[in-house]
C-alpha cells in the first residue's frame, strides 16, 4: 500500500486534488444555499458540514504545495472529512431504502462523499497535528452535533425526519469514531510518517 504515497505527494496530484476540492466545496455551499437562507447567523458556521470539511482540506493541500503543514486544519480536515463523508453515504443509502430508489444526484453524493472520507485518511502519514489540535477538532465536531440535533440545524432530508433520534445517536458515535481514527492514524506512537518533498 505504501507505493501510493509518492503518488499522493507528487505536485500534479496535489494540484489536481486542490482543484477538485475547491470545486466540490463551491458546489457544497451552493447545495446548502436554500438552508443557509433560513439559518440564524449564529449557527451559520455549523450548518454546511461537508463543504466546510472539504474547505479545511483545501487549506491543508495549499500548505502541502508550499512544503508546509497547518496542523490545526489537518486535524479538522481528517475528522470532518471522514465523519461527514461516511455520514452522507449512510444517509443516502437510508434514503434509498425509504424511497425505494435514488436520483443521479444522490449517487454522485455517495461517490463524492466516500472519496472525501478516503482522501482524509490517505494523507494521514503527512499530517503533523498533536493532542492539542485534535482536542480542538473534537470539540468543534461534537459541538456541531449539538447544534445539529439539539437546535435542529442538521442537513434536511425530509423523508428521514422520522429517524432523527436514531440519526442523531448514530452521528454522535460517528464523531467519536472519526476522532479515534485521527488519533490512531496520526498521533499514536509508532505511526507511519512521511514528508511532502
**Per-residue pLDDT of the chain in tens (197 residues, 90 and over written 9):** 678 999 999 999 999 999 999 999 999 999 999 999 999 999 999 999 999 999 999 999 999 999 999 999 999 999 999 999 999 999 999 999 999 999 999 999 999 999 999 999 999 999 999 999 999 999 999 999 999 999 999 887 778 889 999 999 999 999 999 999 999 999 999 888 999 87
Overall domain count for the chain: 1
Q: Has residue 149 been placed in a domain?
A: yes
Long-range contacts of 38-47 (CB under 8 A, 24+ apart): 39/153, 43/147, 43/151, 43/153, 46/143, 46/144, 46/147, 46/148, 46/153, 47/147, 47/153, 47/155
Q: Is 163 domain-assigned?
A: yes
- Whether residue 196 lies inside any domain: the answer is no
Q: Residue ranges of the alpha helices (H) in the chain?
A: 4-9, 11-31, 33-37, 49-65, 71-99, 104-122, 131-150, 164-182
* Residue range of the domain that includes 55: 4-187
Number of CB atoms found within 10 A of residue 183's CB:
17
Which pLDDT belongs to residue 156?
Answer: 77
Output the pTM of the full model. Answer: 0.95
Residue 42, in any domain of the structure: yes
Amino acid at each position: 500500500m505504501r507505493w501510493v504515497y509518492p503518488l499522493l505527494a507528487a505536485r500534479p496530484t496535489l494540484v489536481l486534488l486542490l482543484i477538485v476540492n475547491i470545486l466540490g466545496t463551491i458546489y457544497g455551499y451552493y447545495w446548502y444555499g436554500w438552508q443557509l437562507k433560513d439559518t440564524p447567523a449564529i449557527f451559520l458556521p455549523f450548518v454546511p458540514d461537508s463543504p466546510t470539511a472539504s474547505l479545511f482540506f483545501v487549506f491543508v493541500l495549499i500548505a502541502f504545495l508550499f512544503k508546509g503543514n497547518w496542523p490545526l486544519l489537518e486535524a479538522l480536515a481528517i475528522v470532518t472529512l471522514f465523519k461527514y463523508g461516511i455520514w452522507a453515504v449512510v444517509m443516502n443509502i437510508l434514503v434509498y431504502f425509504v424511497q425505494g430508489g435514488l436520483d443521479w444526484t444522490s449517487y454522485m453524493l455517495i461517490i463524492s462523499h466516500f472519496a472525501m472520507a478516503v482522501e482524509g485518511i490517505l494523507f494521514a502519514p503527512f499530517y503533523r497535528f498533536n493532542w492539542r489540535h485534535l482536542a480542538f477538532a473534537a470539540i468543534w465536531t461534537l459541538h456541531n452535533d449539538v447544534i445539529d440535533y439539539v437546535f435542529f440545524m442538521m442537513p434536511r432530508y425530509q423523508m428521514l425526519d422520522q429517524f432523527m433520534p436514531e440519526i442523531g445517536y448514530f452521528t454522535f458515535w460517528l464523531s467519536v469514531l472519526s476522532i479515534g481514527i485521527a488519533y490512531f492514524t496520526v498521533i499514536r506512537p509508532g505511526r507511519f510518517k512521511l514528508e511532502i518533498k
